[in-house]
Chains A and B, each alone.
Chain A
Amino acid sequence: DAKTTQPPSMDCAEGRAANLPCNHSTISGNEYVYWYRQIHSQGPQYIIHGLKNNETNEMASLIITEDRKSSTLILPHATLRDTAVYYCIVKSGNTPLVFGKGTRLSVIA
């Protein structure tokens, strides 16, 4: 079973920041937080991951709370192409990804 909880859906206006929350209250000390997204009819796309420090790359920022029990993925300027299902996953080592139901983000013009 997935160790994360995400809202089933969210809307965001185009050009605004999209903030996607994730709860992972049972995360273990050696588990990383990963975010993937899946655009309709495509394979999942890696976005970003982190352990305890906040991370930023060309796609997004990841903010992890100090107690590591929750995190937020931030898409700073959402576009219509960011409409997708976003999955938050915790994992360690060479282990399979365990996908939950994710958050369906709809970016609206």
Chain B
Amino acid sequence: GAGVSQTPSNKVTEKGKYVELRCDPISGHTALYWYRQSLGQGPEFLIYFQGTGAADDSGLPNDRFFAVRPEGSVSTLKIQRTERGDSAVYLCASSLTPPGALTDTQYFGPGTRLTVL
């Protein structure tokens, strides 16, 4: 079946601009995670949604970063006033597991490579 998809695959923007990155999770997956991966590093957690609500946003680096998931499916990560340090690959993952489960298996999309000039 279809996996997690992310658009665009690449995004180049100028410092100070606003960007939106989209994630389409696997159909029926209630949990959705955003991660960011800088060059040579492992992915780092940003935010976790269970359904429509953000269950954990402790990884967002500052208030320029915001994410929504209004209908509990597609999610958009929004970055305001982009800075060169925001350049990274932004990864989305989804899982089927409901809240309170003993564990969950996350499946990742291919990522969006963001370059801020």
Contacts and interface: CB of A to CB of B under 8 A. Distances in A.
Contacts of B111: 42-43
A97 B102 contact: no
Contact of B56 (A2, A46, A96): A96
Interface residues of A, number: 23
Interface in B5-28: none
Contact of A100 (B4, B31, B42): B42
Interface string A63-103: 00000000000000000000001010001111011111110
Q: Is the interface of A mostly helix, strand, loop or mixed?
A: loop
Contacts of B53: none
A38 B57 CA distance: 24
A98 B45 contact: yes
Contacts of A30: 102
8 smallest A-B Cβ distances: which pairs? A99-B42, A43-B108, A96-B45, A32-B103, A44-B108, A43-B110, A99-B43, A43-B111
